A = this chain, B = another copy of it.
Amino acid sequence: MKAAIVGGGVIGGGWAARFLLNGWDVAVFDADPTAERKIGEVIENARRSLPALYDKLLPSEGRLSFHQDMAEATVAADWVQESVPERLELKHKVLGTLSELAPEGAIIGSSTSGFKPSELNGKGARAIVAHPFNPVYLLPLVELVGDPGVTARASDILTGIGMFPLTLRKEIDAHIADRLLEAVWRESLWLVKDGIATTKEIDDAIRMAFGIRWAQMGLFETYRIAGGEAGMKHFMAQFGPALNWPWTKLMDVPEFTDELVDLIARQSDAQSGHLSIRELERLRDDNLVGMMRALKKSGSGAGDVINRHETTLDIHADTKLPVTGDRQIPQSWTDYNGHMNEANYLEASAAATDRFMEMIGVDTAYISSGKSYFTVENHIRYLDELHAGERMTVTSQVLKGEGKKMQLFHFIRGEGDKLAATVETLLLHVDLATRSSSPPSSKVSERLAEFASSHAGLPHPDGAGRFVGQRA
């Protein structure tokens, strides 16, 4: 699959990264001579954060190319994404040309945050709105507006690259999210202008309170809970009338004077001028990864999107032993010593055990039926350091697999195939109702026995049967 990206910058670069890291070839057209450097920086950011959301490896990166000719960039493209500045006459010109150049079946998406499809296509183009959010390589939302047949196809494609397409029921200026953002932005400008709060204080008011609420539930769901046992109707009855109170200043637009711009720029510098934009971006991305990984655990919001995308990813098998892990190491797995923390080696090992359990039929359905394996003992040797962003693979050898017992030996490797750790783990099959040991189903026993007998001829791994501190 191939995407043509027209217009670089932060948004175009984010689209390029999102497609590229999901295995698409990406051709970029941008007249700006610095576009290659700028997009390269966005992709660098993406490489260290997007794969860190997943506990499996993303597909191999596609091929990235830069073009000075729009026709060349759009050849054989399946998706063409326009992200040029927000001026209608410019959009008309670019989208008109793209509508002629792009293959007939290609989807032409515009990143416009404000214009409606009827405006974009006013001069005969055939674009839809595909409005993403910065950073495009991490945030799942894409607002889709336009021809129902095209947005339906677009929705499938975007889901395939791990995004969350939201198709609007009717076109409207600025779609949904930016209308809400605009409302907050106007009100915030008033608060700064009137000296009620600084930019930092407003940011704190958001991130210490409703920001963390909204990351998982949004507005209405939060209020549903606030209504308590009586629910949404009660909340509406209680808080609805406040709408008529003269709280917001939003009826007016604050005058956009140089003075106001200076005031805000100055406050923003005071707030975080000590960090470069690159440092801020990385902090933002690391936090997004950390929070999205937390949501992944509960399956809420963006976590659900990642979980569903992850089920479509394959493990890249290329060894004799079963591959039970293949992933990029997330930033949150490293510690004050500047390497992967000892506990995360065991997290990788536990995930590998889970994966092996699935291979012998101990999957969600089996566990729901009231049977599982519990770990009773682990021994870990730490042989080499691992670092954030590094690819890590796990292969597993069965040392024992009969009756209630399953003894596995995981090999954890980093880049260049270096052996970073081994984990010897002993599990017992249990009945989840009584919490005591019990024999596995005959099907599970058989599959485990197959692995055990096929591994029986392998050499006993170095380090197995070892106690802590034993001489080599």
The CA-CA distance from A321 to B224 in the complex, in Å, is 49
The CA-CA distance from A218 to B214 in the complex, in Å, is 12
Q: Is the CB of B180 within 8 A of A201?
A: no
26 contacts between A and B (CB under 8 A): A10-B228, A133-B210, A166-B204, A166-B205, A168-B197, A177-B205, A183-B186, A183-B187, A188-B219, A206-B214, A206-B218, A207-B218, A207-B301, A208-B305, A212-B292, A214-B215, A220-B267, A220-B271, A243-B254, A287-B294, A336-B364, A337-B374, A342-B350, A343-B344, A377-B379, A426-B468
* Pick from B186, B246, B295: contact of A287, CB under 8 Å: B295
The CA-CA distance from A379 to B467 in the complex, in Å, is 8
Q: Is the CB of A468 within 8 A of B469?
A: no
Given A133-B208, A139-B212, A216-B288; 12 other pairs, CB 8 A cutoff: A114-B242, A133-B213, A173-B246, A176-B202, A202-B218, A212-B288, A212-B291, A213-B288, A215-B215, A228-B277, A240-B256, A464-B468
Which of A9, A305, A343 has the most chain B CB atoms inside 10 A of its CB? A343
The CA-CA distance from A195 to B286 in the complex, in Å, is 37
Which of A191, A281, A338 has the most chain B CB atoms inside 10 A of its CB? A191
* Pick from B205, B302, B374: contact of A141, CB under 8 Å: B205
Closest residue of chain B to A407 (Cβ to Cβ) is: B469
Size of the A side of the interface (Cβ < 8 Å), in residues, is 156
Closest residue of chain B to A143 (Cβ to Cβ) is: B205
Closest residue of chain B to A287 (Cβ to Cβ) is: B216
Q: Within 8 Å of chain B (Cβ to Cβ): is A372?
A: yes
* Pick from B133, B202, B245: contact of A220, CB under 8 Å: B202
Number of this chain's copies in the assembly equals 2
Q: Is the CB of A342 within 8 A of B378?
A: yes
Q: Is the CB of B350 within 8 A of A432?
A: no
Q: Within 8 Å of chain B (Cβ to Cβ): is A261?
A: yes
Q: Is the CB of A377 within 8 A of B381?
A: yes
Cβ contacts A274-293/B at 8 Å (1 or 0 each): 00010011011011101111
Choose, from A94-102, A229-237, A448-456, the stretch at the interface.
Answer: A229-237
Q: Is the CB of A295 within 8 A of B291?
A: yes
Q: Is the CB of A337 within 8 A of B173?
A: no
